Chain A
Amino acid sequence: MSVLVEVVNLKKYFPIRGGFRLLKGRLRYVPAVDGVSFKINEGERVSLIGESGSGKTTLGRLLLRLIEPTSGKIFFEGEEITSLKGEDLKEFRRKTQIVFQDPYSAFDPRQTVRKVLEEPLIIHNLYNREERLEIIAKLLKSVGLTPPELYLSKYTVELSGGQRQRVAIARALILNPRFLVLDEPVSLLDATTRVQILGLINEIKDKFNLTYFFITHDIALARYVSDRMLIMYRGKIMETGPTERILEKPFHPYTEVLMSAIPVPDPEMKLSLPAKVGSADIAMVSIQGCVFYPRCQYAIEQCKIKEPPLEEVEDGRLVACWRIK
């Protein structure tokens, strides 16, 4: 298996402008992504789990160079993407695509479904008119919008959330990309629609030879769409490893908290949180040691002073925690 995407010590800091400027101890920037390194192999389904504010959306956008990193390197197919220009950049954009969270704001409301899907082909100068129509029709069938003729002349505002998301997936697939970032693609859909779209996402992976990066706050969903998980908290990776193994036995205290906080559709299994959990909205003070220290029920003195490195503790499993050692 070859490495498709590699990220090395990636950082993205957003400066805080205007308004409530700096008091002692507060940061001048928000470290949305704060030194993240990992690899994604070809054909893998990797999920990124994080609550809001963890930096997961920022990381997704960095991978596609939708925003520029503050520092660090991103490699796609072995090439560093931050220095790509012109035709090379265009080629990169063709090979990497994204499906966004909100199907209600993902489209130009004045474009028909046909126009939505045709535009990328036109921009990349691919095929003639008849060929394009054929490809679009075939793709609409692949995403479950049949018969295609029914949908081509519709405007996206005429479609339901689930149907729109299918169009969004079709749009992401139309250029035959290799790498697909999915940023919370089902969180705004109804429960039963969610299941349909997740099924579709899994179905098309092998059909279109894709590698996935699935961003979500919902570990339960990640279980169904990924083989490997990255757990993110305040801009850093806390734990990574094969999905089932992490779920069976989480190593990092934060992963443990996440698992205990997830409600399960079973009245016998009630939630119980460790007492120290508090809330994620602690004032943005600069933290020297582990970012999870203030909320960690197992914290020891060392955690306050020194940041634990992300290290392999078991085959394929990496954790950033002093306690694990």
Chain B
Amino acid sequence: MAAKIEILGLKTYYYAGPHVIKAVDGVNLAINAGECLGIAGESGCGKSTLALSVLKLVMPPGRIVDGKILFNGETDIVSLPSDELRKIRWCKIAMIFQGALNALNPVYTIERQIVEAITTHMECSKGEARKRAAELIELVGLSRSNLRNYPHELSGGMKQRALIAMALSCNPEVLIADEPTTALDVVTQAQILILLKSLQRQRNLTLIVISHDLSILAQICDTIAVMYAGRIVEKADIRNIFYKPAHPYTYALINAFPSVKGPKKPLIALSGEPPNMINLPEGCRFHPRCPKVLDICSKKEPELVEVSRGHYVACHLYK
């Protein structure tokens, strides 16, 4: 069976005057139906741009310059005209954007916003839409009275739930969540994660979660792809990523999240800064910071190779 979403050779660049920022620079990724894929990386690695590209939502001065994004093995999102694209957006693939707590319209009630999402994308009467909105609001753990609230009357956690309800309003097959728990308290964060996971199971959703926080991804993902400077440096199922990380960057990222339970492990700092996307280093983009750097690393960019079943790494340490 074809993958739900297959990204082939995707390149999304931003053009800022004389500079070109290669935010996504040759990404290949396959996500299967019902899978929960996590995309991990720090700021500037291209993960948000990757997510926006899937729904062709990259705004100028950015644009997709190369590659294909296949949905259900047949439709190439990149080459779809806008009226066709509309049928996919929200109805097939929906998204919860980063900084979503400010994404709600402050002058409309929650009900109105969910109803608007439904009637814009689906053939649906207003009455039907309101009924659906009520079902959705309860599905995400809010009460029907919250439908009458304005966004400012809700807490961060409640707004996030409302946004999840909106994203699910047209029964999409795929949900992309970009940093869904940033700015939320630890307890609320846990509740949102548990909610996302249960929704995924209930509705057999394909879930793509983007986060810089590996601990969050450990909670709900089946597979994780680690991004650095516009490329995927490692991809594996969740156990392999955490217990047998191959790429030195993955290893550093895992160790950047101290554990609160169990023995106190020393935190090992990675030297240097995240890369300058305008002036990328020669060879492997990670080599200036790599504790295991070899001579070849500064000359040649490593290819993504399969080191064990389903476990891919782009690193000269592996052949």
Contacts and interface: CB of A to CB of B under 8 A. Distances in A.
Partners in one complex: yes
B260 A267 contact: no
A265 B259 contact: yes
Interface in B262-278: 264, 267-271, 273-274
Contacts of A224: 258, 264, 267
A121 B258 CA distance: 37
Given A51-B185, A266-B218, A273-B191, 19 more contacts: A52-B185, A160-B274, A190-B274, A192-B42, A192-B252, A192-B274, A195-B255, A195-B270, A196-B270, A198-B267, A262-B186, A265-B215, A266-B242, A269-B218, A279-B155, A279-B188, A280-B155, A280-B185, A280-B187
Interface in A127-146: none
A218 B187 CA distance: 11
A264 B259 contact: yes
Interface stretch (A27-35, A85-93, A207-215, A253-261): A253-261
A199 interface: yes
Contact of B186 (A198, A217, A223): A217
A10 interface: no
Given A262-B186, A267-B238, A281-B155, A247 B274 contact: no
Nearest to B212: A191
B88 interface: no
Contact of B42 (A190, A260, A265): A190
A162 interface: yes
Pairs of residues from A and B, 9 with the lowest C-beta to C-beta distance, nearest first = A281-B155, A263-B215, A191-B256, A190-B42, A261-B190, A51-B185, A220-B260, A192-B270, A195-B269
Contacts of B155: 279-281
Contact of B185 (A163, A217, A267, A270): A217
A269 B242 CA distance: 12
A191 B253 contact: yes
Interface of B: 42-43, 155, 157-158, 185-191, 193-194, 212-216, 218-219, 238-239, 242, 252-261, 264, 267-271, 273-274
A102 to B, nearest CB: 13
Contacts of B190: 260-263, 271, 273
Given A266-B218, A277-B187, A279-B187, A160 B273 contact: yes
Given A51-B185, A51-B186, A223-B260, A195 B194 contact: no
12 contacts: A160-B274, A191-B213, A192-B42, A198-B267, A260-B190, A261-B186, A262-B215, A263-B193, A264-B261, A267-B242, A273-B191, A279-B191
Contact of B218 (A52, A267, A277): A267
A273 B187 contact: yes
Q: How extensive is the interface on chain A, given as a class?
A: 35 or more
Nearest to A194: B256
B185 A265 contact: no
B2 to A, nearest CB: 27
Contacts of B214: 191, 265
Nearest to B186: A261
Contacts of B189: 261, 263
B100 to A, nearest CB: 17
B148 to A, nearest CB: 15
Contact of A196 (B193, B239, B253, B269): B269
A219 B260 contact: yes
Nearest to B256: A191
Greatest chain A CB density within 10 A among B158, B194, B269 is at: B269
Nearest to A159: B273
A221 interface: yes
A263 B216 contact: yes
B187 A192 contact: no
A259 B260 contact: yes
A220 B257 contact: yes
Contact of B219 (A190, A257, A263, A277): A263
